[in-house]
Amino acid sequence: MTTNYDLIIIGGGPIGLACAIEAQQKKLNYLIIEKGALVNSIFNYPLYMTFFSTAERLEIGGIPFNCLAPKPGRQEALEYYRNIHRYFDFNIHLFEKVLEVKKQKVAHFEVITDKNTYISKNIIIATGFYDIPIMMDVPGENLEKVRHYYKEAHEYAFRKVLIVGANNSSVDAALECWRKGAEVTMVIRKDEINKRVKYWVKPDVENRIAEGSIKAYFNSNIEAITNEKVLIKTPDGNVEIENDFVLALTGYQPNLNFLKQIGISLSDDHLKIPTYNPETMETNVAGVFLAGVVCGGMETHKWFIENSRMHAKLIIDCIEQKN
């Protein structure tokens, strides 16, 4: 079955939903296609994650985000975006994966999913960056004990857990696992905890490291992983420690291959920033737009919900002018 649309939005996260709200207001015939649950990335965040942003900075569509705490957590965000869907009644297909986007000879695109095929005049890619972990490329990384996502601490209680990284996700996991009784070791590539770690959490982990509750190897990298141990390269030589689990929270990246397959140009440097017009968010492929974190390529810390919500209006205004 083939269905024609003015606009297909790939990604049902907060920014994809913001684009849909703008499309509704302009009475465009649109469809959101999301490979997982509504706001799937937030769903996959750690259970007790707290946002850096305050609630009002996560709002979309002019709908207030009421929150008792100064900063909302994952559960509150999920409830808010479910209510957003209830209010706007989006045309959205959940648990449907886009496999390919093909430019047609006329000004249309063919969008092929694992369930259907659609035709659309315009495409918005709002797929975020949480799908593909940045790998360490070390022997043993494929072992079952190695995880690239962290959900909650209970599984790691009373076990020897090594956590790679010094960003927000790594620090949260280290503190939560330690508080649940895990023996926690951190391996940190630089000489300090990342400066972008939440300001109310950073002193906590630094104090735990200083007092020896959490062991940390700075200026260090993992060399190899076995079922029983981990080999760490440190400034003082290699260290081998016993280990039950490795949480390699080394960051994530957008699906850059998907962008390239559509024909979107990426910068030649290591940042791989896609080409787009910042005034319209249209890429070098006419009719294809980017919204949200995906705009930053490997600079996944550049765009957030709060500073990319405006992408929706820029895109829909551009599409309306074309029509």
Tens of pLDDT, residue by residue over 54-86, are: 999 999 999 999 988 889 999 999 999 999 999
Question: 41 with 130: CB under 8 angstroms?
Answer: yes
Domain 135-248 has CATH 3.40.50.970: no
Percent of the chain's residues with pLDDT above 70: 99
The pLDDT of residue 2 is: 60
What 21-29 contacts at long range (C-beta under 8 Å, 24+ apart), as own/partner pairs, is: 21/60, 21/61, 21/88, 21/312, 22/312, 22/313, 22/315, 22/316, 23/316, 24/88, 24/90, 25/316, 26/316, 26/319, 26/320, 28/316, 28/319, 28/320, 29/4, 29/5
pLDDT digits (tens, 9 = 90+) for 107-163: 799 999 999 999 999 999 999 988 899 999 999 999 999 999 999 999 999 999 999
Provide CB contacts within 8 A for 54, sequence distance 6+.
Answer: 67, 70, 71, 72
The number of CA neighbours under 13 Å toward the Cβ of 205 is: 30
pLDDT of residue 105: 74
pTM listed for this prediction: 0.92
Flag whether pLDDT at 90 surpasses 90.
Answer: yes
CB 161 within 8 A of CB 154: no
Positive or negative CA dihedral for 209, 211, 215, 221? positive
Q: In what order do the strands lie in the sheet with 229-234?
A: 221-225, 229-234, 237-242
pLDDT at residue number 291: 97
Query: CATH classification of 2-132+252-322, choosing from 3.40.50.1000, 1.10.150.120, 2.40.37.10, 3.50.50.60?
Result: 3.50.50.60
pLDDT (tens digit per residue) in 161-174: 999 999 999 999 99
Residue 1 in this model has a pLDDT that exceeds 60 = no
Phi-psi region of 281 (alpha: psi -120 to 50; beta: other; left: phi over 0): left
Residue pair 49/74 in contact by the 8 Å Cβ criterion: yes
Q: Is the pLDDT of residue 263 over 70?
A: yes
pLDDT digits (tens, 9 = 90+) for 198-246: 899 999 999 999 999 999 999 999 999 999 999 999 999 999 999 999 9
Calculate the alpha carbon distances from 21 to 16, 78, 124, 254 in Å. Answer: 9, 18, 13, 24
Q: Could you tell me where in the chain the CATH 3.50.50.60 domains are found?
A: 2-132+252-322, 135-248
